[in-house]
Amino acid sequence: MTSTSAYKATLSFSNDGSSIEFPVYEGTTGPDVIDIRTLYGSTGKFTFDPGFMSTAACESEITYIDGDKGELLYRGYPIEQIAVHCDYLDTCYLLLHGELPTSEEKADFDYRVTHHTMIHEQMNRFFAGFRRDAHPMAILVACVGAMSAFYHDSLDITNPEHRHISAIRLIAKMPTMVAMAYKYSVGQPSMYPKNSLSYSANLMHMMFGTPCEAYEPNDVLVRALDRILILHADHEQNASTSTVRLAGSSGANPFACIAAGIATLWGPAHGGANEACLLMLDQIQREGGIEKIGEFIAKVKDKNSGVKLMGFGHRVYKNYDPRAKLMQETCKEVLGELGLGDDPIFKLAMELERIALEDNYFVSRKLYPNVDFYSGVVQKAMGIPTSMFTCIFALARTVGWIAQWNEMIGETDQKIGRPRQLYTGATRRDIVRQPAAETKR
């Protein structure tokens, strides 16, 4: 803990009038925290916070979110500036090292990542074991976890160099594995990475190129994909990052921890929302499009329907997700480049957003579009199939996960994460067995 106590918080109990004081720490910005680590030892009581609505699980210097202002900073730089002035590997360097790279540092980092993009040839055999229609996230979880079986030279997590080479290998190999999962699903041969291409151009080459002809990535689409990766790179202590930290706190190797993060991201309430959002837009379009929005919104507002407006709402943002705004701009650029300015799904998404933001149900609950609302529309326009959206999200978030993991492992007072509970089950009781009825043999 690098912060010092700014003032104290006092907790008093009405049943016996006892009270206890806790130190309160101020960060460089954002909410202060009450250090309750002595609570159980002093009172025999736990705090109770399912879903961690009011819990800071760690101290971090990497990413800051102000949900009320709709602000997102990577190492202090606003996402709006990073999206314009940086590429994804600049962003990776920034998240990992805390500062933007000099031109020499960037050249070295690019070289190291580029020269780790191939996966062990033996890993190619994993894919053959999956059904062709396997969800690519299932394949990705398996392949990333299996990386632990290949890189024994970098599993000593107490060694900063091992942690750094693991970070480089994960950042470098995710595009290769994501592209291979896609190629396997469409029955095409995998494409080896090309060192002459940039990170995002290489991803497009490996996804959309074939051995039959030269593939020239479209620069506008490459820049759009690179921005999508930047926008998804890190996001404070979200569910999948918290999973990576918890897995890492046990000393598990980085590949196993990232595989756990990918599994968590898959859920529709988290990274799976972009896939779910596009499926939702496609369904509204099939059922009549813009004319049917009112009917759909009515279903969303009916609690019994179980229908949610996917891509809307956020645990932290109670204002517009700054990434959603940038994603909408990227959407317009891509659709314009591809001559799809009249794309009905994009028009439907913008009309759905307009109507929702005028509806008190959403306004009163501070539900705004999040990063997932437009990301599916732009990826679909680029030819990325819906089932691949969360893989792209996982690819982008790998650097955030590994940066947060590295920050935690590097802490001198790092402990295994082990929450407690409020137990409401049966209290101690003895087994009383009735003599078994004679069974006729």
Residues of this chain that bind ligand SDX (CB under 6 A): 235, 238, 269-271, 273, 300, 308-316, 365, 367, 370-372
3-state secondary structure 151-196: CHHHCCCCCHHHHHHHHHHHHHHHHHHHHHHHHHHHCCCCCCCCCC
Query: CB-wise, 63 or 406, nearer to ligand SDX?
Result: 63
Dist. CA 314–CA 276, nearest whole Å: 15
Residue 417, token pair as written in the block? 């994460």
> Whose CA is closest to 346, among 373, 321, 367?
373
3-state secondary structure 8-26: EEEEECCCCCCEEEEEEEC
Residue type, 251: G
Residue of this chain nearest to ligand SDX (CB atom): 313
Q: CB of residue 289 vs ligand SDX: minimum separation in angstroms? A: 20
Query: CB-wise, 87 or 236, nearer to ligand SDX?
Result: 236
Query: CB-wise, 209 or 311, nearer to ligand SDX?
Result: 311
Dist. CA 25–CA 277, nearest whole Å: 39
How does 300-333 read in b/e, with b if 16+ C-beta sit within 10 Å?
Answer: beeeeeeebbbbbbbebbbebbbbbbbbbebbee
Q: CB of residue 53 vs ligand SDX: minimum separation in angstroms? A: 8
Task: Spot the catalytic one: 314, 343, 413, 430.
Answer: 314
Q: CB of residue 398 vs ligand SDX: minimum separation in angstroms? A: 13
Sheet strand arrangement including 63-66: 63-66, 71-74, 77-78
Query: CB-wise, 20 or 316, nearer to ligand SDX?
Result: 316
Q: CB of residue 264 vs ligand SDX: minimum separation in angstroms? A: 10
- Inter-residue contact 391 to 404 (CB < 8 Å): no
Give yes or no: 372 in active site. yes
Bridging pattern class, strands 71-74 and 63-66: antiparallel
Give yes or no: 135 in active site. no
Q: CB of residue 146 vs ligand SDX: minimum separation in angstroms? A: 25
Task: Spot the catalytic one: 226, 234, 343, 372.
Answer: 372
Q: CB of residue 349 vs ligand SDX: minimum separation in angstroms? A: 13
Residue ranges of alpha helices (H) inside 338-388 are 344-356, 360-364, 372-381
Query: CB-wise, 206 or 356, nearer to ligand SDX?
Result: 356
Q: Which residues are marked as active site?
A: 314, 372
